[in-house]
Amino acid sequence: MISLTKPFTEKQLRTVLARWLTMSAPPVTADPPAEPPVPDVDSGTAAASPLDPVTLDTLRQLGERRGQDVLGTIVQMYLDRTPALVATLQDAVARQDAEGIRQQAHTFKSNCGHVGAMALVELCQELEDRGAAQLTTDTAELMRVIETEYASVQDALKVLMQEASS
């Protein structure tokens, strides 16, 4: 692996950094966990959640190692920043601005990946691809699907924040 695509795991980052930082020495790799992390989510709600439990658990574990609320910080940043991103994306779609659609979909996609909103990541990738290909037809319909999924993600993240604070 020479490069990374977002979202990436800590192990993937270590592997790439080790390759680039120790070109003359054997690559340093992180020991993989014995078992995949177990999501800290009720099994009854995990299937219905628009959030990837592994991503959330990874953020929780990172926070525990650092003694910080990494998950809470990232979720709050997402909730604070994405309404403006979505509004800008909606505007680009309304104007049928292919380059604006591509850029804004890419930015929003990255933000969604950070909180594990993988369905939104896929939808944004589709919209980004349409913008890159100058295909602005049917982008309004895709934007409506994105808006619906985004509302579900926002609701799930707000519940997550409420549960964390209680």
CATH number at residue 100: 1.20.120.160
Give the residue among 25, 17, 49 at the shortest CA–CA distance from 8: 17
Whether residue 74 is found in the same domain as residue 152: yes
The answer to whether residue 14 is domain-embedded is yes
| Residues contacting 101, CB < 8 A, separation 6+ | 89, 92, 93, 127, 128, 130, 131, 136, 139
Q: What residues make up the domain containing 32?
A: 1-36
Per the confidence metrics, is the pTM higher than 0.95? no
The answer to whether residue 51 is domain-embedded is no
List per-residue pLDDT tens for the chain, 166 residues long: 456 666 667 777 667 566 655 544 444 455 444 444 444 444 444 457 899 999 999 999 988 888 888 999 999 999 999 999 999 999 999 999 999 999 999 999 999 999 999 999 999 999 999 999 999 989 999 999 999 999 999 999 999 999 888 7
Cα–Cα distance list, 59 to 15, 107, 144 (Å): 19, 20, 29
